[in-house]
Chain A
Amino acid sequence: AQTIHQWPVAEIKAVGSPLSLGCTIKGKSSPNLYWYWQATGGTLQQLFYSITVGQVESVVQLNLSASRPKDDQFILSTEKLLLSHSGFYLCAWSPGDTQYFGPGTRLLVL
């Protein structure tokens, strides 16, 4: 069975500090991978997707970047956090149709 993990579970960071969120999928080779973000009270927005290792497509610009260094790993990062980056980050994988979501990471930027 496939499993998806996200780390950390939650994070409190200062404005201007760097951020790295991780997502790992086990039990599935060459999955499509996605990053989503939801501001408190807002609608879930797709940030990035990746179809293969080393390839990432940006969907919305939020001063964030993503990378896929391995087939089963998707990283979301920024060198300088903004207050507006606070929210809930979800990673998802798909074999090509249904998307399966990870448990999410809550980020609070102060």
Chain B
Amino acid sequence: GDQVEQSPSALSLHEGTGSALRCNFTTTMRAVQWFRKNSRGSLINLFYLASGTKENGRLKSAFDSKERYSTLHIRDAQLEDSGTYFCAAESGTGGYKVVFGSGTRLLVSP
């Protein structure tokens, strides 16, 4: 079935540095969304992509349906970027099924 493999599960960055989170898909997905968990445990939308790339401030995301992956790049990391990030993919088989990655716990330190 449709599965999403998110990596790394945990990531430590120093302020001002950057890195990338990645989600690989076992099947062709129609779209991907990236979220960040808020303090209460709910999800805040960062990006929705059906293809290509999107950028917002220090965050940039890319989605390649054919190659079955998506990335979330963080540059110039700040302390407030610490938190848990998730990707979620819409199944390419149609319908409205969504599969989540297991999350990446990001810690930004001074």
Contacts and interface: CB of A to CB of B under 8 A. Distances in A.
A76 B88 CA distance: 22
Interface in A66-102: 88, 90, 92, 97-102
**Interface SS of A by simple majority:** strand
Interface stretch (B10-18, B41-49, B60-68, B74-82): B41-49
Q: Which of A44, A45, A92, A102 has the most CB of B within 10 A?
A: A44
A102 B86 contact: no
Nearest to A42: B102
Measured as residues with beta carbon below 8 angstroms from the partner, the interface class of chain A is: 20 to 34
Interface in A2-46: 32, 34, 36, 43-46
B50 A43 contact: no
Contact of A45 (B33, B43, B50, B100): B100
19 contacts: A43-B100, A43-B102, A44-B88, A46-B99, A46-B100, A49-B95, A49-B97, A51-B96, A57-B96, A88-B41, A92-B43, A97-B48, A98-B48, A99-B33, A101-B45, A102-B42, A103-B40, A103-B42, A106-B41
Interface of B: 31, 33, 35, 40-45, 48, 50, 86, 88, 95-103
